[in-house]
Amino acid sequence: MTEATSFSASADHTQKKEKFAVQFMKNEKEVDIPSNEHGSPNAAADQKEQSTSEIIIDCVYTNNGSPEKTEIIKSVVTHQDASGNCELYLPESSNCSAMESSEDSEEDMYRDAEEIEREKILLSETSSSEHKLSVAPEIDIIEYCRREWRGNTPVAKRMRKGYEAVAQRFASIRRVRGDNYCALRATLFQALSQATQLPSWLQREDFTMLPENLLSKYDWIKQWQLKEKLGRKMGEISDEIKEYLILLRKKWKTISEIEDPIEKQDACDKLFKNEEEEYSLYEALKFLMLNTAIRLYNDDKNGRRVPVFSWLLFARDTSSNPCQLMQNHLNHIGNSGGLEQVEMFLLAYALQYTIQVYRLYKYSTDEFITLYPNDPEEDWPVVTLITEDDRHYNIPVRMCQETML
């Protein structure tokens, strides 16, 4: 993989300051309603009262053009049901974490009776066969929006405006199964369905030796949880992850070599209907994320330049180092939690793909279209996702092509 880079600045921008902010969502569970594995279309409305946490880091650019962390890390906790913002300043030496907000158990006051009743009907009408689909068949994006967001609440109006903006570039949408893997599923599906070649990092001869090499250096990786298979020995973990990496390279190579777009799409649909292979690929992605996190952590400790999100990733008290990241976050993805925003950056760096996300609840703001990372490499391919709440992700299709930013 290419070495991660951070913001660059020329000498004439000495002491230039920038702020970098990422919201941290609670990752105990997805918004998706269990009885509807493709996720509730009203997830954003359901969570209107959900609090968010944000860390802002001031970056000072020095004469050599590299950013340095200032002495203060600013943590902003925004409660949408409160009258204002609560700002907490923590010294850099303290273990700064994204402050978790309390869950709101009350009924969402932003939804009217029509929307609540519509959701109940949608859940009852969902067939058992649809539950087995990881990525549902495509539907016209405007038709989907009109069906799912017919209410007159501020949230429904904002969602319709957001979908209308997305429809200017994409004709259809495919709903993604919501089982806490949705961020990995949507990203990988898009990457494979658009792939025209095997990424350089998948072509490396030592790629499949990654588990063995890491386990020889970090004994704590034996605590890696393989698809809820606990109590595995170190050698077994290494062998299984190696199989997953081999499968990832094999499937990526096979699909990328298919020239006919219809055949390529059929191959992706078939892969994401094979539960055993599909979830094995997610284990491979999670391990690649761990490998990337270890590299970034060591680079920072050794004084090398790293992207700013790496500071945020290890600023949380639940992931102050790669071991904690694995134990408290990566091991739980797909089980009790999904990807937080800062981990979307990590996924992008692991795949060397730019993840472009239409964040519908941010419509009419500068954050409506968000890039992970926000300073992408020019030669990284781009995949596009849609989210209504930063928790569940769907896929826009029909006008989507593998392009470069």
Distance CA 77, CA 110 (A): 21
Q: Is 392 a catalytic residue?
A: yes
The answer to whether 202 and 252 have CB atoms below 8 angstroms apart is: yes
32, 46, 179, 390: which is the annotated catalytic residue?
A: 179
Q: What Rg value do the Cα atoms of the chain yield, rounded?
A: 21
* Residue written as token pair 């009262």: 49
The answer to whether 10 and 65 have CB atoms below 8 angstroms apart is: yes
Q: Is 179 a catalytic residue?
A: yes
Beta strands in 25-149 (DSSP E): 52-61, 67-78, 85-91, 139-140
Largest CA distance in the chain: 62
Q: Which structure tokens are listed for 247?
A: 């499968």
| HSE-CB of 26 using CA atoms within 13 angstroms | 14
| Pairing between β-strand 354-359 and β-strand 382-387 as defined by DSSP bridges | parallel
59, 182, 268, 400: which is the annotated catalytic residue?
A: 182
Q: Which structure tokens are listed for 356?
A: 């472009």
The answer to whether 349 and 360 have CB atoms below 8 angstroms apart is: no
- Long-range pairs of 101-105 with CB within 8 A, sequence gap ≥ 24: 101/26, 101/50, 101/51, 101/52, 101/53, 101/77, 102/51, 103/26, 103/50, 104/49, 104/50, 104/51
Q: Is 219 a catalytic residue?
A: no
Distance CA 56, CA 174 (A): 34
User: Which residue in 318, 291, 297, 326 sits closest to 309, CA to CA?
Assistant: 297
268, 329, 390, 392: which is the annotated catalytic residue?
A: 392
Count of other CB atoms within 10 angstroms of residue 248: 24
DSSP annotation string for 91-159? ETTS---PPPPPP--SPPTTS-HHHHHHHHHHHHH--HHHHT-SBPPPEEHHHHHHHH--S-SHHHHHH
* Residue written as token pair 């998706």: 32
The answer to whether 134 and 39 have CB atoms below 8 angstroms apart is: no
The catalytic residue positions are: 179, 182, 392
